[in-house]
Structure formats: structure tokens, C-alpha cells
Amino acid sequence: METLHGQLWDHNDEDSHSTYGVLHKVESMARALGELGAKAIISDVRGAQTKHHTGLKRITLNSAQKHCRIHPLLHWTQEDVENYLAKHNLLYHSLKHKGYVSI
């Protein structure tokens, strides 16, 4: 992958982040869902994370992959996340502190 696209994880632009996500997350997730015959998936995306996420609905049907995607945190703000973590005495993933925007 690096030969074709470079070190996408080391770039801080939306196009690189999107390409990395498709190659490492979307493609492998689609394959796994198909192999498992999954009918639904719960996703932790929030609307404020990317332009694409702002257009999502809380429940969507992916007709190509034949499953529903449920987004229970879609309307959470960064403050909501921080309050939840504090209330339940939870920590951010250690990679978050190293600058990773997606884990």
C-alpha cells in the first residue's frame, strides 16, 4: 500500500485520511460482513468528525452490502464524549494522545 499511496497515516488532510480508511477499514469490513452474513452493524461515528458523517442518518440501509448501519453517537459532540468518559472514569485510547485521529 505504501508503494502506491505513500504513508497516508502520516498526512493530516482529509483525502489521505479518507483513502486510508477505505483501504484499511471499509474494504475489510465489507468483506467480513459478507462472510459473516451480518444484518446490522453498530458504528461509533459522530457527525462532526468528517463532511461525510454530517450527512448520515441515525439508521441507514446499505443495499449493496445488504445490512443496516446504526449510528447511536451520531449527534454527540466532543463535549458529550468527554463528559461520558469522565462520568464513567474512562480514558481515551493511548494513541489519541499521540495525534491519531482514527483508531
Residue 94: pLDDT band by 50, 70, 90 thresholds? confident
Instruction: Using alpha carbons, select from 57, 96, 51 the residue that is nearest to residue 74.
Output: 57
What nine digits make up the cell of 29? 469490513
Per DSSP, 79 falls in state H
pLDDT digits 0-9 by tens, 52-85: 788 888 998 877 778 899 999 999 998 999 999 9
Q: Give the integer Cα–Cα distance in Å for 85 and 62.
A: 31
The alpha carbons of the chain give a radius of gyration, in whole angstroms, of 15
Give the predicted TM-score (pTM) of the model. 0.64
Q: Residue 2's pLDDT is what?
A: 62
103 CB-contact burial (10 Å; exposed 0-12 / middle 13-18 / buried 19+): exposed
Query: Quick one: DSSP state of residue 59?
Result: E
Residue, of 100 and 73, whose pLDDT is higher: 73
What is the pLDDT of the chain when averaged over all its residues?
A: 83
Closest CA to 71 of 92, 50, 97, 100: 50
pLDDT per residue as tens digits for the range 20-47: 777 777 788 888 888 999 999 998 888 8
